[in-house]
A = this chain, B = another copy of it.
Amino acid sequence: MRPLRHPAEVEITLDGVLHALSDPDRREIVHRLMQSGGMNCSQACQKRPASTVSHHHRILRDAGLIVSEKRGVEVFNSVRRETIDRRFPGLLDVIFKTPSS
C-alpha cells in the first residue's frame, strides 16, 4: 500500500471541506467517526460496498477531514477534529447539529 497523502493544515480549503461534506454518505461517515473516535475500514464498510466507502474516505482525506493510518492489515480512519476546528471554527459543530436532510 502506498503512503496516503494528507494535506497540511494550511492546505485545507473551505472549498474542499464543504464539497466533501455536501454528500450525505460522507457526512454519515464523518459523524460515525466523530462519535466512535475512529474506525477501521472493515467497520465502516458494513453497510456499503468497500469500493464506495474507500472512495468516500479518499475524498474526505484529500479534503483534510480525516486521517487514515495503517494499523496491521487495516486502515484506521479518524476525524482531524482539532485541525478542522482551528481552520474553520464552529463548522463541524454547526453541520453535525443540523438535520441531516
Chain A residues close to B by CB (< 8 Å): 13-16, 18-19, 21-24, 27, 87-91, 93-95, 97-101
> In whole angstroms, what is the CA distance A15 to B91 when docked?
15
Nearest Cβ in chain B — how far from A5, in angstroms? 19
8 Å CB contact of A19 from B22, B88, B94: B22
User: Across the interface, do B94 and A98 meet the contact criterion of CB distance under 8 Å?
Assistant: no
Kindly provide the distance from the CB of A9 to the nearest chain B CB, expressed in whole angstroms. 11
Q: What 4 pairs across the A-B complex have the smallest Cβ distances?
A: A18-B22, A19-B22, A90-B94, A88-B98
Chain B residues with CB under 8 Å of A91's CB are 94-95, 98
Q: Check A13–B101 contact: CB distance below 8 A.
A: yes
